[in-house]
Structure 1
């Protein structure tokens, strides 16, 4: 069974990029080589700051979509492994 990787890259401009792949090392090299024209290609170099392994591609895709919608603070809590802060940030709702 193939492994799938959810990953977060920190870009040169300190922004984050989230993606999935079945070959993490190769994908990071491809990002840094500018093969993918888009978000990361204008923010090189990128550095891997988080990854998680999945057996199910659909679960990896769901997690990627979820994290892409997170605030910077939530992404940084995940990267740091601060699950208490992540839980607190998840409870906060914007009041209008």
Structure 2
């Protein structure tokens, strides 16, 4: 499976990314080994996840989310169930 996720960073910004392993990727972000954007903005909290069968579908959705305004992203996050990490 391919996943698009949204993190809430310590500075209250939102970060959107793509991965095939959400738990691993969130751990990388928390350890300061994830995207340059999240370094220095730890700890991060997983606030939204969407899963897709194909990489292209996930990447398209990631792009869509990144184009949303902050209020639109907040509505997306508010409307989602609490995401669970599969270990």
- What is the TM-score of this pair, normalised by structure 1? 0.79
- The gaps in structure 2 that reach 5 residues or longer are 81-87
Look up the SS of the partner of 1:39 in the other structure: helix
Larger Rg: 1
**Which of structure 1's runs of 4+ aligned residues deviate more than 4 A?**
none
CA RMSD of aligned residues (A): 1.2
Q: Which structure is higher in helix share?
A: 1
How many Å separate the matches in 2 of 1:37 and 1:63? 18
CA contact (8 A) 2:25 2:34 kept: no
- What is the TM-score of this pair, normalised by structure 2? 0.87
**Bigger relative contact order (CA 8 A; separation at least 6):** 2
2:73 matches 1:65: no
- The gaps in structure 1 that reach 5 residues or longer are 83-96
Look up the SS of the partner of 1:14 in the other structure: coil
